[in-house]
Amino acid sequence: MLGSLITSLVGPAKPGQVAKSLKAQYDPKATREFKLWGPYSLPGKNATHAGPGFSNGIKLDPSSDVLNGWISPPCTDCTVLKAVANLAYKNGTQADVGTGVYTHHIIISQVGRPQLIPPIFPVSCNSSLSGAKPSTAPKQAGGSMAGHGHRKRQDFTSSVFVGGGGSAGSGSAFAAPNSDIKTGAYIGKYDAFQFSSEIVNYNPKEKEIYLSLDYEFLPGKTPGLMNVGMGALSVEGCAGPTAGFMPPADKPIKYTGSEYIITENGYFVNWMPHLHDGGEKINIFLNGKDVCETKAVYGSDSGSEAVVGGSKWETISSYIPCEKAIAFKKGDKLKMTADYDLTKHRLRPDSAHSDMGAEGMALANFIWAKAV
């Protein structure tokens, strides 16, 4: 079958181990587990790093490294309600900036479930961000990212299972809590999984890293299940979903993205932002009405802060998502805004030059269900 074919071509998938069981959040009948895959070797800060590009996974930072490979499915013949990927150590504790590790993004792909094309299309392209002056306009990073949006409208035999990043983790809910809208990500008996992650190690020594996944699932395929897909809005969709920008250092700023037309009937069931440090919130507007707000949370008791170049750096540790079913129809108009304030939060320092800040980014990742 599919798994056997992949094994014959690239070798066996790395098996996962359940580290602990957790209390279900989305359905009392569901099973929730925390699983680890690994180990993977993360080179030290002073190692030779490959240049930015897309040949071995998405790599945007000259000081980062890419970890990737095939992994065993989290479960089989099951309907996943929520999944959040992160990086951890062998004992299950999170690898974050408190221990010198910054995660730019994690993408897990599922082979066997067709990609549901995002139901959005840009109306027009602005030459620069609304609210941005030349010094704060986006710079091109080029290309399309599986976890950061889908610009080419084509069908795939595989789909993005989770995609996003930062210390807040990668992933979101495939179902809205306390909703009659039955949605979820179904994993078949023979589906295969692959992951890729871009990571910056601020430590001089190599580290042993594990991929972690906190996921909740029901056995089998839920009756009446609506298929879900993933997409993303960039605050400047025409500059590409990997576009970065430099917010002003002396004042807050609000960026307004391009307008999109919705091309299907369905529901948004979850919105989760992907911001860089300095980002505060993202708002989603449907036909001019503010329907969703997602916020960044900085610092945590687990240690999502560090001292780099003699200055305190507190990174985004989590997000407050928008978790509700929002109906939409073909022809509706969609856009987003993003708020940055570098007077409150500094940009992530470059690992090789601690006085240099990395660029800002503003994406709104969404899970949607196609109406049947």
Q: Are 110 and 174 in contact (CB under 8 A)?
A: no
**Is residue 128 a contact partner of residue 91, using CB atoms and an 8 Å limit?**
no
Q: Please provide the distance, in angstroms rounded to a whole number, between the alpha carbons at the two ends of the chain.
A: 30
Q: What's the pLDDT at 73? A: 98
d(CA 22, CA 4): 31
| Domain extents in the chain | 2-370
Compute the distance between CA of residue 65 and CA of residue 276 in angstroms, rounded to an integer.
Answer: 18
The pTM of this model reads: 0.75
Show Cβ contacts of residue 56 under 8 Å, excluding neighbours closer than 6 positions: 50, 66, 68
Residue pair 89/208 in contact by the 8 Å Cβ criterion: yes
Nearest to 37 by CA among 15, 19, 57, 63: 15
CB 114 within 8 A of CB 159: yes
In degrees and rounded to multiples of 5, residue 341 shows phi and psi of -150, 100
Residue with tokens 């181990």: 17
**Per-residue model confidence (pLDDT) at position 108:** 94
Quickly tell me which residue has 């008996």 as its tokens.
189
Taking only Cα atoms into account, the Rg of the chain, rounded to an integer number of angstroms, comes to: 20
Best CA proximity match to 189, nearest among 225, 226, 220: 220
Digits of tens for pLDDT over the chain (372 positions)?
Answer: 555 545 444 568 999 999 999 999 988 899 999 999 999 999 999 888 877 766 667 877 788 899 999 999 999 999 999 999 999 999 999 998 888 898 888 999 999 988 888 999 877 655 345 555 433 443 333 333 333 433 344 444 788 898 776 665 677 789 998 788 999 999 999 999 999 999 999 999 999 999 999 999 999 998 889 989 988 888 876 555 445 678 888 899 999 988 999 999 999 999 988 888 889 999 999 999 999 999 998 876 554 555 555 566 677 878 888 999 999 999 999 999 999 998 888 766 654 443 444 567 888 889 999 987
Distance CA 164, CA 346 (A): 21
User: Facing residues of 326 across strands?
Assistant: 268
Return the HEC string of the chain. Answer: CHHHHHHHHHCCCECEEEEEEECCCCCCCCEEEEEEEEEEEECCCCCCCCCCECECECECCCCCEEEEEEECCCCCCEEEEEEEEEEECCCCCECCHHHCEEEEEEEEEEECCCCCCCCEEECCCCCCCECCCHHHCCECCCCCCCCCCCCCCCCCCEEEEEEECCCCCEEEECCCCCCCCCEEEEECCCCEEEEEEEEEECCCCCEEEEEEEEEEEEECCCCCCEEEEEEEEECCHHHCCCCEECCCCCCEEEEECCCEEECCCEEEEEEEEEECCCEEEEEEEECCEEEEEEEEEECCCCCCEEEECCEEEECEEEEECECCCEEECCCCEEEEEEEEECCCCCCCECCCCCCCECCECEEEEEEEEECC
